[in-house]
Each structure stands twice: as C-alpha cells, then as structure tokens.
C-alpha cells in the first residue's frame, strides 16, 4: 500500500506508469538501504559505547569480552601478539587472546613472530618461544600449570610476558591477563606468579546417559550422548574454555549413581570424543564407575574386590579405556551409599574396593576417587557420625593413587553445616573436598544464593588437629599433613556441577558465579569470596562500580539469607521429600528415618535441635578436642550451629536476648526481608544491566521472595505446633494454615534422582 501511494505521488510527466513504478521502487530500495545502513551504524555506535546495556543471554559467561570503558589505558599494552601456534593448546591460547583483546579493545592485534614495537604481549614457554627462553625467567618451580606474568623489555620494546613451563600454564596465564583487562586493573609493572594450590580441580557431573541431570536445574545434560562421538557440539569447546579460564582441569562426565553402561565400548568411544575436545584446555576426563559393573556388563558372578576374576576384569577395563583415552584420569566411586553396590556387599572394606580399582588404573597413572558419603539407615548411629566411623580406621590403608572425597559437611550439602569431622582426621590419606555447586538444597536455580561464602567458611574452618590454624584449606592442599601423606599424594577439590543445556549454562545468571567461585577457590582455597564476587560481577555485568558494588552487596549476604529463611540456627534437612523442593519440616515415616525431617530437627514441646553433645549422639567427639569442647558447650557453640549440636528449650535465651522461639521466627523473617532488599537493589540497576538479563533476574528474585515467604510461613506454622507460643509482636502470621502447606505436592519438580 505504502509503495503504491509513493508511485502515484512522485510520477513526473511523460513517464510511463511502469517506468515510474520502477523508479519509485528503486528510490524505495535506496531509502531502505540507507535506513539499514543508518541502523547498522547506530547499532555499531551503541555496541562500541562502553557500559551500554544491550541484550545478552548469558551464554558468554564471564568471558564476554565486550568493549571496555578503559580501553585507551590498555591499548598501549596490547599492540601486538607474539604467541606460538604449533600445538592445540597454543592455538587455543592464541585464539583466546585475540578474541578477548580485540573484543575488549575494539582493535585487532597484529600477530608477530617477535616483538617489534612497544606493547607486545609475548606468550609461551622457554621451549616454544625464543623470546621467553632469552629472558631466562625462573619457571622451574612453576610446575606444569603455573605461570608468570611480567612487564619486561624485549629487544628494547616494552612487553607483557606470560611465561610457563608447559603450554597449559601459558593458557592459564593468558586467561589471567584477560581477567586483569576485564576487571580494569593496571597493566604497568606486572609481576605475577601463580601456581595452583591443589592438583585436581574437578567438576562432578551428575549426568545420566538419558541426559537427565540428577539435581540439575539448568536443563538437560550438556553431553549429547546420543549424537556422540560424531557430533561435537561447539558448546563442548566453550565449556572447556570457561573451565580453563578458572583453572578447572578435570571432569567426571557421569553421575555418581552410575550406570554400568558408561563402561561399555560404545560409551567409552563417546567419552573419548569428549576427552579429545577438552584435552587442549588441560581438562582430563574421569568416569564414575559402578562397582557392580563386572556383573552387569562383564557377565561375572560377583563383584567381590578380592576375587581374581573381578580384579582382572577391572584391569582389562582400565586397559581398554586407556587405549581410547590415553590421559584418562581415573574412576570416581560411590559405593555402599544410598543403595549403591560396593565392597561391603561381599564383606570387604572400602579400602579393599578402592585398592582393587586403584591397582587397575595404576599402570596408566590413573587415580581412584572414593567417596566418603556413606551412611546407612540400618546403622543405628547418628547419620552425621557414620562416614567418620567407617573411614578413620582405614587411614593409611589406601593405595597411594586413591583419594577420599569428603563432602564439606557431615550430612549433605545443607545451606549451612559445620565442617566435616573427617577433615584433619585422616592424616595419611589425601582428602578431596566435595562441594555442591548445583543448588539442590538452596532453592534450585531461581534463588539467588552466592555460594562463595559457604565454600570460604568451610575452607577457613579450623580443625585444630595440629593446633590453631589447622584449617580445612590446609588439609585440602596437603600442607597440614605433608609429613604423613603418602609420597606424591595428590590434592584436589571437586564441585558437583550446575551446568546444563540451558542457554545460560547454569539455569540462572547468578548461578554462573557459583561455578566461577568454585573454580577460583579450587585453584587457591585461600582467596576471599568477596574478591571473587567483585571479579565475577565486573566480568559478567559491567565494569562500572555503580553496578558492581550493589551486585556484590546482594551476593555476599544471599547465602545467609537462604540459611535464615530455610534452616536458621543450625537446623538442617527440612526440605520436601525426594525432590527437595520447598519446605517439608513435617516429613516423617517412609522407608528410612534418616531421609525424614523429624530425624534432624527433633522438635517437641520441650524444645528443638539434635543433641550431638557427649550427652547425646556424641558426634562432637569426632572433632579435635578443642573443637569438640566448644561444640559440646551450648554457650560456646557458635549460634549458627546451635540446633545442629544441641536440643534447646523454646525459651532458651539467645545472644540477641530473644528467647529461642522468638529468635527463630526473627531469623525466618530476616531471610525474607533480605530477598526484598535484593529486589529493591536489582530494580535500581534497571538500565545499567542489559534488559534481557535484568528482566530474568528480576523475575527470579520475585520467585525467590515468594518461596522464601513460603519457607518462613510453612516452617513457623509447623514449629509453632511444638513451641505453643504466640508469634512475637510485629511478626505476621503465616498466610495459610499448616495443613495447606503439608498438602502441597510437586511430582514433577526438576532434578529428582
């Protein structure tokens, strides 16, 4: 219609109607072209305007490389790139620097064989780079993965040097340099030396072969097993880049509740294809192994670890895997836990099982990571004590290529737990930390809960086993027991991944921070979670302080808020049955007492809490004497663990002066209030964060507020039936009666095992 109208309006005399129509059409096309050009120009201007918020979907994680406000300060330091490209890792390093710096600075770097001008970035090892060899830097003690970043002069030119012993160290150094640029740090007079404090920095995927992710809230498994080994999604490479950028160097592809199928030739080939993609980024593949695999896929009559046929089966299996994956990392095993098969099925110990598998992978340099997450409802003892009871007697009985992987707390990844008493209690066994990055117990993907403070709290906890300062971090990095660990013992940390096929990887934008923080702390368990949050927020959202500071503020208190509105004062394990979504303090009965809530909170008319003192279950005695004495005394126990260790009367006076009941209600409300505060802060950032991400976070925060209120109301309604006291003044009553909350069912909640 519009074109026709223009034809009529602009027909000069003497033109045929067709000519006029053609001319008008051309004019129209010209105008359209001009408009497109104008729009493109506008877009370009907008894109290159630093700090401008434009739609982003989160796929790029913290490696966004958007134009930097401070680009002018960086450009003189990044005029050319001198980086070898003869190995896949070198190519990845060079490609990342080019991609990152050109994105951040808006200019293309010239790649040169040598530094020919000021501002060269020179990357490599003494073997790969003559310029670096000539500098004769002290790289020896950097190991394979460490690196130096130095300001230097090369052939009279100012240069920034990234030097390592091995390609992988250079890649890590390249990511570090990019981080410095992304976070707007000065590149003058650099003198950085980094060596990872732990050797195995690993993700544990709880991914099944049908792509269901146990406790996954970010869609299906990232691994498209069906299309492997032929189709290699580009996502695998981006996964590797993201992990390498924070130093993660190992990944267990499949669920600890493992399918034996994973060890069949077909799936070994698929795992090998993934290993090939991850290898250039320094990431080794491990597999969870089902202990009964010799029976299920090997046709043996049993899986007894002392049976020669079983030993042979695992040796052959290891040989087969190493043929396909020469740098295969080894096996992760969940045995005799929550119904999984294990050596105890044959009257053998965890050490018998672990050692048998360790012998199978040993000739290839492989490791066995044996989980200490064991407990049985048939054992009458407090669940919190069972791992310690089983494993401490086995200290010193494991092969030197076995590591025991211990969850941060003795129950199960709760919003808050005291550190696991096994840390410090097995001086002859390398213990790996197991954190849960996916938020099974902290509100799934929709609750904003930054886990950095949780990780940090555990790592800084003082076991006191060798006097004050015997922190969990020192157990994990091997320094506390350097004298007693087997020679060449490996150190490490594992994080249960929150990664899935969702476009933003983690199910929510803020959950990316938990992956990031985990990686950074695995590299260096002594980092501060606040510094990590700053880094992450700058890279992920904006380098503008007016954006970063409010975001960091929200993040830092967010985990504590979850503790408050779900399980304050040391309460734990109060979530809905099986799916673990929402409150379920009333959960009782069913197949196992230790899968109910009443087992843990023990609320009655006289009080609430689990007595784990020397008068109760005695769990406190599993800690070193000074810690045990502290936790044994209700007055000395930090209030955040009060009901973890003590059964306390409802009118017990807490530190605030409020009676316990009042304090409990206060904490619940405080948690909800914090979420309201986060919403206000986030609303204030509208326009400063791109609309797409802003809107999703805002919606998730609204969900979080609703669910925090639900947790508060349901918990108060339930506990009030025991406390039999009115709500403190000013506290709003629950929106519904208790039976309403109890009636809610969620048969399709995600992630259910």
Nearer to ligand BDP (CB atom), residue 178 or residue 387: 387
Q: Is 366 helix (H, G, I), strand (E, B) or coil?
A: coil
Nearer to ligand BDP (CB atom), residue 170 or residue 374: 374
- Please give the Cα distance from 210 to 537 (Å, whole number): 34
For residue 206, the minimal CB distance to ligand BDP (Å) is 7
Nearer to ligand BDP (CB atom), residue 115 or residue 496: 496
Backbone angles phi, psi at 752, to 5 degrees: -60, 135
Question: Read out DSSP for 137-199?
Answer: ---GGGTTT-EEEEEEEETTEEEEEEE-SSHHHHHHHHHHHHHHHHTT---TT-EEEE--S-S
- Please give the Cα distance from 579 to 591 (Å, whole number): 15
Residue among 137, 160, 135, 169 nearest 82 (CA): 160
For residue 586, the minimal CB distance to ligand BDP (Å) is 19
- Please give the Cα distance from 588 to 585 (Å, whole number): 9
- What count of other Cβ atoms lies within 10 Å of the Cβ of residue 286? 28
**In a 10 Å sphere around its CB, with 0-12 CB exposed, 13-18 middle and 19+ buried, how is residue 222 labelled?**
buried
Nearer to ligand BDP (CB atom), residue 63 or residue 433: 433
For residue 434, the minimal CB distance to ligand BDP (Å) is 8
- Please give the Cα distance from 571 to 417 (Å, whole number): 9
- Please give the Cα distance from 509 to 445 (Å, whole number): 9
For residue 81, the minimal CB distance to ligand BDP (Å) is 44
- Please give the Cα distance from 357 to 752 (Å, whole number): 30
For residue 329, the minimal CB distance to ligand BDP (Å) is 19
Residue linked to tokens 């003082």: 462
For residue 678, the minimal CB distance to ligand BDP (Å) is 26
Nearer to ligand BDP (CB atom), residue 412 or residue 477: 412
Could you check whether the bond before residue 338 is cis, i.e. omega within 30 degrees of 0?
no
Backbone angles phi, psi at 593, to 5 degrees: -60, -35
Question: Which one of the listed residues 96, 417, 440, 690 is annotated catalytic?
Answer: 440
Nearer to ligand BDP (CB atom), residue 89 or residue 436: 436
Question: Read out DSSP for 646-688?
Answer: --B-TT-B-TTSSBHHHHHHHHHHHHHHHHHHHHHHHHTTBTT
For residue 256, the minimal CB distance to ligand BDP (Å) is 5
CB–CB of 249/240 below 8 Å?
no
Which two structure tokens, joined as six digits, stand for 33?
A: 């072209």
Say whether 85 is catalytic. Answer: no
CB–CB of 267/235 below 8 Å?
no
Tell me which residues touch ligand BDP (CB under 6 A): 214-215, 256-257, 334, 338, 373, 412-413, 440, 753
Residue linked to tokens 């404090």: 197
Say whether 108 is catalytic. Answer: no
Backbone angles phi, psi at 335, to 5 degrees: -125, 145
Question: Which one of the listed residues 194, 390, 412, 535 is annotated catalytic?
Answer: 412
Say whether 440 is catalytic. Answer: yes
For residue 532, the minimal CB distance to ligand BDP (Å) is 25
Nearer to ligand BDP (CB atom), residue 215 or residue 693: 215
For residue 534, the minimal CB distance to ligand BDP (Å) is 30
Tell me the HSE value of 289 on the side-chain side, using a 13 A CA sphere: 32
Nearer to ligand BDP (CB atom), residue 213 or residue 678: 213
Which residue number places its CB atom closest to ligand BDP?
753
Nearer to ligand BDP (CB atom), residue 373 or residue 674: 373
First to last CA, the chain: 59
For residue 162, the minimal CB distance to ligand BDP (Å) is 38
Sheet containing 120-124: give its strands across. 110-111, 80-82, 120-124, 157-163, 147-154, 191-194
- Please give the Cα distance from 703 to 709 (Å, whole number): 10
Question: Which one of the listed residues 320, 338, 639, 742 is annotated catalytic?
Answer: 338
Nearer to ligand BDP (CB atom), residue 467 or residue 591: 591
HEC string for 55-69: CCCCCCCCCCCCCCC
- Please give the Cα distance from 654 to 680 (Å, whole number): 31
- What count of other Cβ atoms lies within 10 Å of the Cβ of residue 748? 8
* Residues annotated as part of the active site: 338, 412, 440
């Amino acid at each position: 219609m519009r074109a026709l109208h223009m034809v009529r309006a602009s027909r000069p005399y003497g033109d045929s109607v067709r000519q006029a129509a053609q001319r008008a059409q051309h004019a129209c096309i010209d105008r359209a072209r001009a408009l497109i050009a104008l729009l493109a120009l506008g877009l370009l201007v907008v894109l290159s305007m630093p700090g401008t918020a434009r739609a982003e979907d989160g796929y790029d994680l913290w490696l966004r490389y958007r134009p930097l406000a401070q680009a002018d300060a960086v450009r003189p330091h990044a005029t050319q790139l001198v980086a070898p490209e003869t190995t896949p890792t070198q190519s990845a390093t060079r490609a990342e620097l080019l991609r990152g710096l050109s994105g951040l600075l808006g200019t293309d770097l010239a790649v040169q064989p040598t530094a020919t001008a000021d501002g060269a970035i020179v990357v490599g090892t003494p073997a790969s780079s003559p310029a670096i060899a000539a500098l004769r830097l002290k790289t020896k003690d950097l190991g394979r993965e460490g690196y130096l970043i130095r300001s230097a002069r090369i052939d009279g030119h100012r240069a920034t040097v990234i030097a390592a012993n091995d390609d992988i160290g250079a890649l890590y150094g390249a990511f570090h340099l990019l981080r410095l640029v992304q976070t707007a740090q000065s590149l003058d007079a650099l003198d950085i030396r980094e060596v990872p404090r732990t050797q195995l920095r690993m993700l544990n995927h709880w991914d099944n072969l049908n792509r269901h992710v146990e406790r996954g809230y970010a869609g299906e498994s990232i691994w498209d097993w069906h299309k492997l080994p032929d189709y290699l999604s580009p996502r695998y490479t981006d996964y590797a880049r993201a992990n390498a950028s924070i130093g993660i160097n190992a990944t267990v592809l499949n669920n600890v509740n493992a399918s034996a199928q994973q060890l069949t030739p077909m799936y070994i080939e698929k795992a090998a294809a993934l290993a090939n993609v991850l290898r250039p980024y320094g990431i080794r593949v491990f597999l969870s192994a089902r202990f009964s695999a010799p029976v299920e896929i090997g046709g043996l009559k049993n899986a007894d670890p002392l049976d020669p046929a079983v030993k042979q089966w695992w040796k052959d299996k290891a040989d087969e895997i190493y043929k396909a994956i020469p740098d295969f990392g080894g096996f992760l095993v969940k045995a005799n836990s929550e119904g999984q098969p294990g050596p105890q099925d044959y009257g053998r110990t965890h050490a018998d099982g672990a050692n048998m598998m360790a012998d199978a992978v040993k000739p290839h340099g492989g490791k066995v990571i044996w989980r200490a997450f064991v407990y049985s409802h048939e054992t009458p003892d407090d669940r919190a004590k069972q791992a310690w009871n089983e494993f401490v007697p086995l200290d010193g009985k494991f092969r030197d290529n076995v590591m025991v992987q211990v969850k941060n707390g003795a129950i199960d990844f709760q919003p808050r737990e005291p550190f696991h008493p096994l840390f410090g209690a097995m001086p002859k066994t390398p213990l790996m930390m197991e954190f849960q990055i996916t938020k099974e117990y902290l509100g799934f993907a929709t609750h904003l809960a930054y886990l950095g403070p949780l990780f940090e709290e555990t790592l800084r906890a003082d076991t006191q086993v060798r006097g004050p300062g015997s922190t969990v971090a020192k157990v994990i990095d091997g320094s506390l027991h350097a004298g007693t660990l087997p020679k060449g013992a490996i150190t490490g940390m594992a994080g249960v991944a929150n990664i899935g096929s969702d476009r933003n990887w983690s199910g929510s934008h803020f959950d990316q921070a938990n992956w990031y923080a985990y990686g950074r702390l695995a590299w260096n368990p002594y980092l501060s979670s606040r510094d990590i949050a700053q880094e992450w927020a700058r890279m992920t959202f904006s380098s503008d302080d007016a954006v970063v500071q409010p975001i960091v503020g929200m993040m830092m208190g967010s985990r504590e808020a979850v503790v408050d509105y779900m399980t304050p004062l040391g309460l734990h394990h109060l979530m809905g049955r099986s799916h673990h979504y929402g409150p379920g303090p009333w959960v009782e009965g069913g197949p196992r007492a230790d899968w109910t809530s009443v087992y843990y909170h023990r609320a009655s008319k006289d009080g609430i809490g689990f007595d784990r003192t020397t008068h109760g279950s005695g769990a406190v005695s599993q800690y070193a004497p000074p810690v045990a004495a502290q936790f044994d005394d209700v007055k000395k126990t930090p209030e955040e663990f009060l009901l973890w260790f003590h059964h306390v009367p409802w009118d017990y006076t807490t530190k605030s002066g409020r009676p316990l009941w009042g304090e409990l209600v206060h904490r619940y409300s405080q948690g909800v209030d914090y979420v309201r505060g986060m919403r206000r802060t986030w609303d204030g950032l509208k326009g400063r964060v791109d609309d797409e991400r802003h809107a999703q976070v805002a919606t998730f925060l609204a969900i979080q507020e609703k669910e925090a209120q639900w947790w508060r109301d349901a918990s108060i309604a339930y506990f009030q039936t025991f406390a039999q006291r009115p709500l403190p003044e000013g506290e709003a009553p629950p929106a519904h009666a208790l039976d309403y909350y109890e009636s809610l069912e969620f048969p399709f909640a995600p992630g259910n095992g």
